[in-house]
Amino acid sequence: MFDFRHKNIRCLFIGIVTSMVLSMLAASGYAIWLLQKQKIDSGLNLVSIQARVFEDYLTQSFNNIDVALKNAPVILESGIPAKNAFTLALHNVPYLRSLALIDKNGFVVSSSHPEDVGKKIDTANFLPRMTTPTEVFRIGVPWIGRHLNQGEPTTPEKPAAPDALVFLPVMKIVFIHQQAFTFLATVNTDYFINQFSQLIAPDAGHIELFRLDRTLLFSTDERRHPGIRLDLLPGEHGDTAHPAVFEHTLAGRATLTAYQASRIFPFALHIHLDREVLLAQWQKQMRILLAVIGLSIFAVIGLSVFIYNRLLHTAQIQAATDEQLSLSAQVFKSSAEAIFIATAAMRIFSVNRAFSDITGYSASEVIGQSPAMLYACPEDNESDPKPDWTVVGKNQPWVGEVSHRRKNGEIYPAYLTISCIQDETGTVTHYIGVFSDATERKISARFRFLSEHDFLTGLANRRLLEEHIEQAIARIERHGGRFGVLFLDLDHFKQINDTLGHHIGDLLLKEVAARMQTCVRATDTLCRQGGDEFLLMIDQIDDPAAATHVAEKLISAVSQPYQIEGHLLDITTSIGIALCPEDGLDVTTLTHRADVAMYQAKQHGRNHFAFYHSLMESLS
């Protein structure tokens, strides 16, 4: 990395930036000169492309009209009413206003507009003349008006006014039930004018469509009236089949014009672009280009300054990073936890001092080996917990307890964390394992468990239950709520102990405890107080009915027969229930009152439950 604190490096950087700016200026000047040289050629090419595009669009549009004129007679022959057939055709071709069927005498016999029926249509000006029914349709002169019954054809002497509604009559000979008819469609010219006006701004130019006899059908220039006869323009060839592009003067202004005839239908079009407007647009683009070039130069200079400062800052960060890496290496060496680093191929290539202290292996003995050498059991032994490397490969650390074997063969529990390091592409390059000897921690956890749980059943003992009840009371005093304390005593358990012995009694107590646990939630606390007495705290209940439900489940579960070492045993339980805060707000009171309620349940025949009531105190 370059050190930008040196003067020579700074001068080299400034020289490179200066060369870039001068190159940008030279390239920009050449580009502007080239654009200026080609501005007229590009304008001519533009109008030529637009003429081909517009011609293709109009040809496709009139082809849709031709298809509608062809398909409607087929629909009529199928027996569908004319009104429905015309409605379907108009729906498929949105730029049609109406459809009419004309007999051989020129009278409208059927129309999508009933007002047109009976009107006589003179088709003499529908050019060119058709010689066979298979030819394309003919296009009439523009008509002034909205529909046939309201309109009249234009003439060169009487063209349409600028604000007049205009439509084009389109005619085709069709046969219905072997009888010849003239099928007439009226085309809405405003549809196409609106389409083309969005593509060519009025001050930039205009498009005009005309028949092959040069009768103007419509124009986006309001000064060009439909129905007039257009003159052959200077530079326009008499051969109507070939497109042309040329410069000329139109209405006193220099204009670029393209001529394009339809490939199929009897019409052609002109695209006129004002050369001065085109030049003004080009000049505006040049001003924008110069502004962009200026901004680009300023951006290059600004970016260069930013990069200059950034690289200098990066060099300073690199120095700090080197120091941090040195500290990390010291942490790696002096950490009290064992650390190993393995390659993506699962081979150890670095360990710290604590690794050797815990495992007994020196660095030379494990480098190049698989981390699996630390397992207490072979890799194929599924009973021995091992890391899930597939999880680690997804850039998620694996944390768990595993069994390791020291060099001397001693097996010990280890808390292991494995994470991975990935490169820029997301590919795993290394694994890092950190573990510690969990022997003392497990011993401490075991002692704590024994201090808080009953040695026989594994249930919570009285000390742990009282702690949970006190926490629940504190929560109720702050936020409100309710919980229940249940006192359970096994009925006639002493007889089983006396007749079958304490061994069978202990096994029965373990089975009873297991059944009770299936009836309570994980948030509840089930406790063996001693002998055949149990306490249960039901946390966060809404009403006494919840305690009733739990008591019924417990009585049902406990009363099921037991099969213990060949003995079929039956036993029941009596339950007393006290609620907090209704029956007390301390551990002693609640457990005492639950005990009182339990004795009342026994007095009522056992295998029952009872809620505490103050009258019970006088009865006990």
Instruction: Please indicate, yes or no, whether residues 607 and 491 belong to a single structural domain of this protein.
Output: yes
257 within a domain of the structure (yes/no): no
**Residue 343: both structure tokens together:** 């390659």
- pLDDT at residue number 17: 81
**CB contact set of 383 (below 8 Å; sequence gap of 6+):** 377
Instruction: Please indicate, yes or no, whether residues 577 and 531 belong to a single structural domain of this protein.
Output: yes
274, 532, 583, 595: the active-site residue: 532
Whole-model pTM: value is: 0.44
- 617: Cα separation from own chain's centroid: 67
Instruction: Please indicate, yes or no, whether residues 162 and 48 belong to a single structural domain of this protein.
Output: yes
Instruction: Please indicate, yes or no, whether residues 400 and 503 belong to a single structural domain of this protein.
Output: no
**CB contact set of 228 (below 8 Å; sequence gap of 6+):** 156, 159, 215, 216
Domains contained in the chain, number: 3
Q: Where among 142, 166, 186 does a domain terminate?
A: 186
Q: Which domain holds residue 561?
A: 453-619
Contact at 8 Å (CB) between 257 and 248?
yes
**CB contact set of 514 (below 8 Å; sequence gap of 6+):** 457
Alpha-carbon distance 167 to 153, whole Å? 9
- pLDDT at residue number 367: 87
Per-residue pLDDT tens for 267-294?
999 999 988 888 777 778 788 888 888 8
Q: Where among 415, 443, 471 does a domain terminate?
A: 443
Alpha-carbon distance 111 to 119, whole Å? 10
Q: Mark 347-361 as b/e (b = at least 16 C-beta within 10 Å).
A: ebebbbebbbebbeb
326 within a domain of the structure (yes/no): no
Contact at 8 Å (CB) between 609 and 576?
yes
Instruction: Please indicate, yes or no, whether residues 458 and 543 belong to a single structural domain of this protein.
Output: yes
Give the 3-state secondary structure of 200-218.
CCCCCEEEEEEECCCEEEE
CATH label of the domain that carries residue 519: 3.30.70.270
Instruction: Please indicate, yes or no, whether residues 416 and 555 belong to a single structural domain of this protein.
Output: no
Instruction: Please indicate, yes or no, whether residues 426 and 468 belong to a single structural domain of this protein.
Output: no
**Vertex 236: Cα angle to 233 and 240 (nearest 5):** 115
Instruction: Please indicate, yes or no, whether residues 573 and 530 belong to a single structural domain of this protein.
Output: yes
Instruction: Tell me the sheet residues that pair with 340.
Output: 351, 433
CATH label of the domain that carries residue 405: 3.30.450.20
- pLDDT at residue number 374: 85
Q: Which of 101, 64, 105 lies closest to 82, judged by CA? A: 101
Instruction: Please indicate, yes or no, whether residues 599 and 556 belong to a single structural domain of this protein.
Output: yes
- pLDDT at residue number 329: 67
Tell me the residue type at 522.
Answer: A
Per-residue pLDDT tens for 388-428?
766 776 667 888 888 888 888 888 888 888 888 888 787 88
Instruction: Please indicate, yes or no, whether residues 583 and 544 belong to a single structural domain of this protein.
Output: yes
306 within a domain of the structure (yes/no): no
595 within a domain of the structure (yes/no): yes
- pLDDT at residue number 325: 63
Q: Where among 124, 153, 186 does a domain terminate?
A: 186
415 within a domain of the structure (yes/no): yes
Q: Is 586 a catalytic residue?
A: no
Residues lower than pLDDT 50 in the chain: none
Instruction: Please indicate, yes or no, whether residues 435 and 470 belong to a single structural domain of this protein.
Output: no
303 within a domain of the structure (yes/no): no
Place of tokens 């406990």: 558
204 within a domain of the structure (yes/no): no
Contact at 8 Å (CB) between 606 and 574?
yes
203 within a domain of the structure (yes/no): no
**Residue 356: both structure tokens together:** 């050797």
The torsion angles phi and psi of 619, rounded to 5 degrees, stand at -90, -20
Instruction: Please indicate, yes or no, whether residues 439 and 459 belong to a single structural domain of this protein.
Output: no
**Residue 488: both structure tokens together:** 């359970």
Q: Which of 69, 101, 61 lies closest to 88, judged by CA? A: 69
